[in-house]
Structure 1
Amino acid sequence: MTKIISFISRKGGTGKTTNAINLATMFHSLGHKIALIETDNNYTLNTLRKMELYKTGANEHNLFPIIPSLDENAIEEIEKLKEDGLDYILVDSAGKTTDKNIKKLCIASDVVIVPTSLSPNDLLVTYQTVKDLQPAREFNDNLKILVLPNRIHSQTRKETIAQATEELETIVLGNKVPMKNLFVNFSTILSEKEYLPVAKEILEHV
Structure 2
Amino acid sequence: MKTNVVAVINQKGGTGKTTTTINLGSALSKLGKKVLLIDLDPQSNLSYSLAVSNTDATLADVFQGDKGLNDILVEKNGLWVAPGSNDLVDIEISLVSQPEREKFLKSILAKVKGFDFVLIDCPPSLSVLTLNALTAAQEVLIPLQMEVLTLQGLDQITKTVQKVKKALNPKLKIKGIVVVMFDVRRKLSQEVLEYLQDNVQEKIFRSQIRMNVKLAEAPSFGKSVLDYDASSNGARDYAALAEEYLEA
Offset at 1:178? 0.7
CA separation in 2, counterparts of 1:11 and 1:97?
A: 9
Partner of 1:125: 153
CA separation in 2, counterparts of 1:3 and 1:141?
A: 12
> TM-score, structure 2 length as denominator?
0.68
Rg larger in structure: 2
Offset at 1:156? 6.8
Secondary structure at 1:182 match in 2: helix
Partner of 2:16: 15
- Equivalent residue in structure 2 for 1:152, among 167, 172, 182: 182
Partner of 2:143: 115
Offset at 1:125? 1.0
CA separation in 1, counterparts of 2:8 and 2:27?
A: 16
Which shifted more, 22-31 or 101-110? 101-110
Partner of 1:55: none
Which shifted more, 189-198 or 36-45? 189-198
| Identity over aligned pairs, percent | 21
Matched, 1:143 2:143: no
Residue by residue over 1:66-87, the C-alpha shift from the partner in whole angstroms, topping out at 9 and shown as x without a partner, is: 1124476533442232x2x111
Secondary structure at 2:36 match in 1: strand
Aligned residue type for 1:163: Y
Query: What runs of 5+ residues in structure 2 fail to find an aligned partner?
Result: 54-73, 96-103
Offset at 1:122? 1.9
Offset at 1:60? 4.5
Offset at 1:141? 3.8
Matched, 1:80 2:111: yes
Secondary structure at 1:152 match in 2: coil
Aligned residue type for 1:149: V
- Equivalent residue in structure 1 for 2:203, among 159, 171, 177: 171
Matched, 1:66 2:54: no
Which shifted more, 131-140 or 113-122? 131-140
| Aligned partners of 1:36 and 1:67 also within 8 Å | yes
Distance 1:47 1:20, change over 3 A: same
CA separation in 2, counterparts of 1:122 and 1:61?
A: 32
Offset at 1:90? 0.6
Aligned residue type for 1:152: F
Alignment of 1:46-61 (within 5 A): 46-50=47-51, 60=75
Query: What runs of 5+ residues in structure 1 fail to find an aligned partner?
Result: 53-58
Offset at 1:159? 7.0
CA separation in 1, counterparts of 2:177 and 2:77?
A: 31
Aligned residue type for 2:214: L
> TM-score, structure 1 length as denominator?
0.80
Partner of 1:33: 34
Partner of 1:95: 124
Alignment of 1:190-205 (within 5 A): 190=227, 192-205=235-248
Offset at 1:48? 3.2
